[in-house]
């Protein structure tokens, strides 16, 4: 006989109720069912076990010796299930509260938002403060819990995981890219407009030295969003992170120009984060999302 298929474990609660209440009527009242339902479910349980569990000869039904043994085991199962539920609830409630994340705009658009969407499905009680800032703010001050930074190496006083290199490639409208490809073959500078970043930490114009004519028309953008928009709208060619450039259907990557890797993407936390499962969980999800995205867009070297 297949015990698992014969026994409905839900019927165990009727046996436990009978043992605790002392009568079928009281058990029915506690379970909010009829006396007949209690009797029927107990009979089905006995059929499954292949043994008499309840002595129905008296006014108040009594458990048989076999029934008492089953009750003891059922109580152990019940205690185990409650302990597991309490443990699960404790872990779930531990994933509640606020997590403060800072990054440059690129970090939110490409990496952080996709990770948070997934986290909210798993841990809906976590809330977020999202602070977009390009400055290398110190999370050791306690102002932030997690920082996604685009740097070559993590500061020594912060705990960091390197998720991979952020590759940049030259993008532009097809007609501009074609001109550059032709100029590279002819080993001469191309006369095409350029869009470059204003920020000093990312001097993309230096990467175009000898490739674009010095007198080419140049537009300068204050941030990545403006840079991307300018290139998409035909103001010129420019270096974009590959994860960004690949999103524009009207742009081509200039394969004649080698991709650049000016910095890596780091997921940084502070020492206090070691004590918080919530922050460690969010940081791990961010790291996984960034690593996966960078790996998918990595240039394969033949």
**pLDDT, tens digit (0-9, with 9 covering 90-100), for 30-69:** 888 898 888 898 888 888 888 888 888 877 788 888 988 8
Per the document, the length of the chain is 302
| Structure tokens that stand for 182 in this block | 């032709």
The Cα–Cα gap between 65 and 72 comes to 11
* DSSP code, position 175: H
Here the CATH number for the domain that contains residue 37 is 1.10.10.10
Question: Higher confidence at residue 84 or residue 64?
Answer: 64
Averaged pLDDT, 186-190: 90
Averaged pLDDT, 132-156: 70
Same domain for 64 and 131? no
Here the CATH number for the domain that contains residue 173 is 3.40.190.290
pLDDT at position 59? 73
44, 74, 91 — which closes off a domain?
Answer: 91
Same domain for 257 and 205? yes
Task: Quickly state the pLDDT bin for 109 (edges 50, 70, 90).
Answer: confident
pLDDT at position 239? 93
pLDDT at position 301? 42
**pLDDT, tens digit (0-9, with 9 covering 90-100), for 113-122:** 999 999 988 8
Q: What is residue 144's three-state secondary structure?
A: coil
Q: Among the listed ranges 105-109, 154-158, 196-200, 250-254, which one has the minimum average pLDDT value?
A: 154-158
Predicted confidence (pLDDT) at residue 88 exceeds the cutoff of 70: no
Question: Higher confidence at residue 190 or residue 160?
Answer: 190
**Mean of per-residue pLDDT scores for the chain:** 82
Q: Which residues, at least 6 apart from 70, have a Cβ–Cβ distance to it below 8 Å? A: 12, 15, 49, 53
Predicted confidence (pLDDT) at residue 243 exceeds the cutoff of 70: yes
Give the Å distances, CA to CA, from 272 to 42, 159, 190, 212, 287.
55, 10, 53, 49, 18
Task: Quickly state the pLDDT bin for 300 (edges 50, 70, 90).
Answer: very low
Q: Which domain holds residue 71?
A: 3-91
pLDDT at position 139? 55
- Domain count of the chain? 2
Same domain for 131 and 254? yes
Same domain for 207 and 269? yes
Residue 237: what are its φ and ψ, rounded to 5°?
-90, 155
**pLDDT, tens digit (0-9, with 9 covering 90-100), for 249-275:** 999 999 999 999 888 888 988 777 667
Residue 227: what are its φ and ψ, rounded to 5°?
-60, -50
pLDDT at position 302? 36
pLDDT at position 137? 52
Same domain for 166 and 269? yes
Contact in structure between 50 and 30 (CB atoms under 8 Å): no
Task: Quickly state the pLDDT bin for 124 (edges 50, 70, 90).
Answer: confident
Same domain for 168 and 55? no
For residue 84, what is the enclosing H or E element? helix 65-94
pLDDT at position 142? 63
């Amino acid at each position: 006989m297949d015990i698992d298929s014969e026994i409905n474990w839900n019927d165990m609660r009727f046996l436990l109720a009978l043992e605790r209440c002392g009568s079928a009527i009281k058990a029915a009242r506690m379970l909010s069912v009829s006396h007949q339902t209690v009797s029927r479910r107990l009979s089905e349980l006995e059929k499954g076990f292949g043994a008499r569990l309840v002595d129905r000869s008296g006014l108040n039904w009594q458990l048989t010796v076999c029934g008492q043994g089953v009750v003891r085991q059922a109580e152990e199962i019940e205690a185990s299930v409650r302990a597991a539920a309490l443990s699960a609830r404790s872990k779930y409630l531990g994933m509640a509260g606020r997590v403060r994340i800072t990054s440059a705009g690129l970090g939110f658009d490409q990496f952080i938002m996709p990770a948070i969407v997934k986290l909210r499905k798993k841990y809906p009680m976590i809330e977020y403060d999202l602070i977009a800032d390009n400055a290398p703010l110190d999370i050791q001050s306690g102002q932030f819990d997690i920082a996604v930074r685009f740097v070559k190496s993590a500061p020594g006083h912060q705990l960091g995981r390197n998720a991979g290199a952020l590759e940049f490639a030259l993008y532009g409208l097809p007609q501009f890219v074609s001109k550059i490809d032709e100029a590279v073959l002819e080993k001469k500078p191309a006369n095409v407009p350029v869009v470059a970043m204003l920020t000093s930490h990312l001097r993309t114009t230096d990467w175009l030295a000898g490739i674009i004519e010095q007198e080419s028309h140049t537009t300068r953008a204050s941030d990545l969003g403006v840079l991307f928009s300018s290139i998409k709208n035909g103001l010129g060619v420019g270096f974009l992170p590959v994860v960004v450039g690949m999103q524009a259907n009207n742009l081509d990557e200039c394969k004649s120009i080698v991709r650049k890797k000016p910095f890596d993407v780091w997921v940084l936390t502070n020492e206090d984060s070691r004590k918080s499962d919530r922050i460690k969980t969010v940081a791990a999800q961010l790291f996984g999302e960034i690593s996966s995205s960078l790996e998918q867009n990595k240039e394969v070297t033949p």
